[in-house]
Structure 1
Amino acid sequence: MKRFAPSATQKSRQATFILGFLLVLSFLFILFQGGKLASMLFVILSLLTVYLVLGKWSGIRQAEAHREIITADDTERIQAGQSIQIKLRIHVPGAWPIPYLLVKDEMIRGNKEKMGMKGSVVLNWMRKGEYVYKTPPLRRGHYSMKKAEFATEDVFGLYEHTGTVDLPYSFVVFPQTIEIRNWAQFSHSPRGSRHHSVNARMQRETTQINGVREYIHGDRLSRIHWNATARTGNWRSKEFERETLPKMVIIIDRNRGIYRTQADFELAVSAAASLLQFGAQRNIAVGLLSSGKDTYMALPKTGPRQAEILMDHLVEVESDGSRTLQQVINNSKELFSPGTLVIFVTPRRGTDTLALLHSVEKQRMLACHLCVESVKDSSTDHWVREIHKLGFMGYAIQSLTDLPAALGGAKPYA
């Protein structure tokens, strides 16, 4: 049989009843018995009652606080897996003595998961104090913090007085990313002359000047922007517009039944975010397709605003879908165009995935399979070798740190 602890209100009522009962008894004792003992007992209980009643005006209801968020590297951008330190600076006005202060702070992820932090603070002679705590490693998502609750008790622990301070604050925990410095197969496609010509058109430049950039060793003399060089005192080169911008579409498999653990899906999201970051840094038009309870589709575009929009989607995405990748692609054909690099981020292997790669090739696009599995087995390497033999790009990673080496060509499969 469960027994529940009494609430603060019930505890206060019980204390009030007991204190009143003792005060009445002491009064009757002095009334009918008299004497020094009865008088001393009544005075002590009266002073105790006054002390407990005046504790209601301890100033806790007018408490002031300021919340400060401290990250590990003092940057505003927080990535999944990081912990943050939160500092509450507290001031309680008034003069009535407070033995200690109980603090409760709450953090909400999205609109569901709640994380409460509790502790105690001893105020200094100016009735000020600091409560500092560190969160556990945070998952990606949108977090909000609303009010901080404070409570204090008398020295006997009979009455509890509370106060709240509204301290609205929100922050975003982004997917974990890793820098990809080089993608060898993206720069030099392995699928023969047709794909080499696609890549050449992407890299070919027009005669239209698009801006000025820093001089790179090996630039021809005709590329040097003499006016900008003379104005800045450093070598500057002309930047020309490309004939065709390279395009990349990232497809995340959100089917809930194909991921062994939540860590596998988080690895898929982190890999997609790293590829998005790679494309944004190199002015590649990046699109995104993910389908779960709802379908999200973004056409390939360049620019920092596009990267922000796609990253915001990756912050909240979950493995809550039931459709296959083929069904998802069939409903999103307007996303694809010849010459586009289509990257499937999924742990799926087998004939269905191979059929997807062939269908992409038939539409004159480049197909790539990024197999994300935290638990490696021999069949994974065998699968990657097989699709390499067929001329498709394929990589397998067990952790995010494997991604740069895999794309950079440091991990051979043939």
Structure 2
Amino acid sequence: MAFEGLSDRLQETIKKIKGKGKVTEQDVKEMTREVRLALLEADVNFKVVKDFVKRIRERAVGQEVMESLTPGQQIIKVVQEELTELMGGNESKIAVAKRPPTVIMMVGLQGAGKTTTTGKLANLLRKSYNRNPMLVAADVYRPAAIQQLETLGKQLGMPVHAEGTEADPVNIARNAVAKAKEEHHDYVLIDTAGRLHIDGDLMGELQQIKDAVNPDEIFLVVDSMTGQDAVNVAESFDEQLDVSGVLLTKLDGDTRGGAALSIKAVTGKPIKFAGMGEKLDQLEVFHPERMASRILGMGDVLTLIEKAQTQVDEKQAKELESKMRNASFTFEDFLEQMEQVKNMGPLDEILNMIPGANKMKGLQNVSFDDKQIVHVEAIIQSMTKHERQDPSLMNAGRKKRIAKGSGTSVSEVNRLLKQFEEMKKMMKQMSNTKGKKGRGMKFPFM
């Protein structure tokens, strides 16, 4: 996962200073040295690191911090604020044209994930902002790009304006905007051509499209896996096209996070969105303050809630709460809940969004294996409908049959049955817990 190494190193560093009742300049010097090394290891631009560490040191040895009752915590606050500022400070809003449609040019090198990201952004605009976008296939040099965008359009149920590989990309873009006005689309997303490297022909064509349609946004799509190269690409595109924002792809991958931490500082252009997976709904608005909290192990509750709200049906949630109160929660309900949680993303990613979860006893260094989830699903799916609704029916013969049908062992079946019963007891206790004013405990997202 992105930032994993940086996150571990920074958390270890600030842990040493957090509990100190008094912090000396030497403490600050040692801490900033560790922060500097952590950022360089994460492939953050050297000049960016130098300026970042300098600002932390200046603020950390200031009177306000050194003379406070909790200087260690004040320094952590400084690190969090500076990390947030480094990545842009606040969420950067997407433009809205005074007269529709809002035109967005998607630019970037070939292989950065531009076409897929165009589809993801269109999906996000419709689902989260209630917009009606049109996709435009303006990459005429790669027939596969046109086909890919048309396939994405079918999957999303969105129109794709394409004129084949013989048409002029400038005319395609111009015609698409005119058509979008006629058909009352409020956003036009133009998927332009990319190259394996930056060249004069590519930039010349992109400039012509820009002049023809006067886009409200020019989004540069960069692959965060390329580290410092991503920053260099961003600089080159920005110099020639004056991009308005950056979309980072593969931020969920095994990347050190250097691109995300360097781009804003080097180019001055904000990161607008981040790709957090391959699915079409795995593009997120980039929130610098939330990402900073995640890096420092402080969680990201707001994003977790937003993810849950998109996946959890409110009516189902209320029914589930009622079943938990009455201890009538079944394996069928459990299977349904597992599916919803899986749709929110990888479990270790969800865990990182819960404040302090990485410090909980028993959860440190836990590796969530998707195979274990598959085994649990296989066991439940191998049960009959009656067995799912009433696990007390289980006898040795039934367990043997379920184990055989799911490709697991009887001991694994027994383990799941035991864990399920323990979970039911815990949920019933939680739902029946009364506060001083007699109010029951609410479950998350209900």
TM over 0.5, shorter chain: no
Relative contact order (alpha carbons < 8 A, sep ≥ 6): 1 or 2 greater? 2
TM-score, length of structure 2 as denominator length: 0.28
TM-score, length of structure 1 as denominator length: 0.30
Highest CA radius of gyration, 1 or 2?
1
Which structure is higher in strand share? 1
Which structure is higher in helix share? 2
